[in-house]
Structure 1
């Protein structure tokens, strides 16, 4: 039986908070369950188009980490909670957050997203993965 395709995390490639989140996932995902694509990359734009999302809208002001899992696209707090669950171990406890109404979770998510550049800064261009991690990033 073939192994399932890895889930893909789409992230704002110039956001320091988002890049830190990607590094966190990499550190806690030694099995390589997740792969990554910047929303600004060709691969990221192609995945957005394939799921009926206009890349220009997302690229203009990306506010969300997106998770593509088993052909379904998750956003905002749902994406973060599913990623934490996918990391396994004690990170599965983050699922407790799903007990809160989505409207509250997403309001908190959007608040942080609106202020992330001011609080954490941004880069001039998307991060480049190290040669050891290059296989986990979509081109």
Structure 2
């Protein structure tokens, strides 16, 4: 898939495909994405690397929320933007939007730095089940 082929009506979540925490988070988002807002791309994939180069960022190993027509958010702001679109009581987490981005990103970075130690790591990116394959872009 090329950047020009990305769905214009979907928000694209780029995630660390070998991180167990990240994979669990993707599964959580899929479960609570009742309006079918999101598509997913592993950072390690060819498409993930193309998108990263396109948004002109560097050394990003965090979650990135990319909207082809609007740009991107990363780290804590991406996570909070994702929460806005989920069903359920999880929207209560939006209370954290009142905190400064710098503080939120320090917390995010602390968790990200320790994610492999705390949650483990896979040898390769997850392969979606056939019923979820349409949620993942390759």
- 1:126 alignment partner in structure 2: 125
Q: Secondary structure at the match of 1:32?
A: coil
Residues 15 and 117 of structure 1 are in contact (CA less than 8 Å); yes or no, is this contact kept in structure 2? yes
Match of 1:28 among 8, 25, 32: 32
Q: Secondary structure at the match of 1:87?
A: coil
- 2:63 alignment partner in structure 1: 65
- 2:89 alignment partner in structure 1: 90
Number of residue pairs aligned between Structure 1 and Structure 2: 131
The whole-number CA distance in structure 2 between the counterparts of 1:119 and 1:93 is 25
The whole-number CA distance in structure 2 between the counterparts of 1:68 and 1:88 is 20
The whole-number CA distance in structure 2 between the counterparts of 1:137 and 1:4 is 15
Alignment RMSD (CA, Å): 1.6
Per-residue deviation, 1:103: 1.3
The whole-number CA distance in structure 1 between the counterparts of 2:16 and 2:22 is 6
- 1:77 alignment partner in structure 2: 76
Q: Secondary structure at the match of 1:130?
A: coil
Q: Deviations over 1:53-87 (max 9, x none)?
A: 35xx34xxx2x111013431101100000000011
Per-residue deviation, 1:35: 0.3
- 2:44 alignment partner in structure 1: 40
- 2:23 alignment partner in structure 1: 19
Deviation above 3 Å: which 4+ runs of structure 1? none
Unpaired stretches in structure 2, ≥5 consecutive residues: 1-6
Q: TM-score, normalised by structure 2?
A: 0.88
